[in-house]
């Protein structure tokens, strides 16, 4: 996955806060299958796990904190995610939830 643009809160996912006018790679993973973005944060799905990065003032990264992240952090421990999307300060994801959960 590749990102570019404003990076004040680390929303490019490249581990920095430097704005980018050309695409930069998000980490080293090559198995991203879905992506969703908010105003200042981004999330992606890889190998059925969800990862988010960027602005986190409202807890929108889903890592249990309100700490901004400049590199992807995993959301929970579930491995049944298939899509994710973001709003201004929230994120929504879709899981393939087993019966009874």
Q: What is the pTM of this model?
A: 0.92
Full DSSP string of 13-77: -SSS---EEEEEE-SS---EEEEEE-SSEEEEEETTEEEEEE--TTSTT-SSS---EEEEEE-SS
Beta strands at 20-25 and 81-86: parallel, antiparallel or unpaired: unpaired
Which residue segment(s) compose the domain that 96 sits in? Answer: 31-101
- Please count the structural domains in the chain: 1
Give 43-80 pLDDT, tens digit per residue: 999 999 999 999 999 999 999 999 999 999 999 999 99
* Residue 22: inside a domain: no
């Amino acid at each position: 996955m590749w990102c570019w643009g404003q990076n004040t809160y680390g929303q490019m996912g490249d581990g920095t806060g430097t704005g980018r006018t050309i695409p930069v790679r998000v980490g080293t993973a090559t198995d991203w299958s879905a992506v969703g973005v908010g105003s200042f944060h981004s999330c992606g799905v890889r190998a059925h796990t969800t990862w988010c990065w960027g602005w986190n003032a409202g807890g929108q990264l889903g890592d249990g904190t309100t700490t901004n992240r400049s590199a992807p952090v995993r959301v929970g421990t579930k491995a049944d995610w298939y899509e994710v999307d973001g709003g201004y300060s929230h994120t929504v994801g879709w899981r393939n939830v087993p019966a009874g959960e």
